[in-house]
Structure 1
Amino acid sequence: MRHGADEIDGLVPVWERDGLSPSLIANLELGKRASRLALLLEQALRPDLAELGLTYAEFDVLATLRRVGEPYRLKPGDLARALLLTTGGISNMLQRLERAGHVERESDTGDKRSRWVRLTPEGLRVCEAALETSGRVYEDMLSGVPDETVRRAADALRDVLVTMGRRRLR
């Protein structure tokens, strides 16, 4: 059931005029809508995270460390892979989180060349508050969208991601 047009619908006539195939147009619509959805959710969450002293990316780091369970630690390379970042891309973020007291780096007793990044008790507290806030923001942003629509969209996106995830990226 459609409830009206969105920003992406305005692009379709241009793509049709340019001779793009219906299947390519559908692919473009999917990608644009997925990006737009992620952006809207992130924008809505940013102010509340800022009140906790976090950026969206920093929240992502803390939530990833929390997700692995106690002792809430990962090697920097594993953390970067989980976040789809390079180790260089995560380095400055880890320094900021360390200065804020949310993470600490500790030596790996089994490998002197390696270190762990571990969530501190303060980092866990802030992460829990951010997760609670995130839940409220998502509920607010998706209010008015029927639960069954959300479920169908989540399931459909899973199907797309499973197929896409099997492809090798360059």
Structure 2
Amino acid sequence: MCSNCLNAEIFKVLEKFIIDLPSKEGALIEVLHKAQGLFGYLPQEVQSFVAEKLNIPVSKVYGVVTFYSYFTIKPRGKYVINVCMGTACFVRGSGDVLEEFQKELKIKTGETTGDGKFTLGSLRCVGACGLAPVVTINDKVYGHVTVDGVNKILSEYATGEYVTTEYAE
């Protein structure tokens, strides 16, 4: 199947989602969440489509997309790694953990590996302070992560064998 054909099908799914909304007024964030879930990110083409279907200016869509850190206009890797940089995590070493991820993946925060497998980011607070420092990968939460645990975590995604243990020393 061609990529444009796939995109056409995804646009149809998004259009149906918008049509089925009880009200389009105030639905922008809900629609953007759906769109990002479908496309993986929100390129200009998707933002324009959403604006047209919701009958709002593209500038408003772009403003919301760039304001909220959840939304992205660049493709993300298969696995999105976020290191919590909230106070509890930071004082327990999340800065060092983030540096280790950068070193191991050979990318900086906000970048994606060349193979498209990993995107590295940071968050202000995950809300799991008792597990500090915390790392999330997609929907999975890792608690008590240490610099030594970074390699263990990454090896899980290389092998596909996901361990549920903590990554403390």
Greater RCO structure (CA 8 Å; 6+ sep): 1
Measured against the shorter chain, the TM-score band is under 0.3
Q: TM-score under structure 1 normalisation?
A: 0.28
Q: TM-score under structure 2 normalisation?
A: 0.28
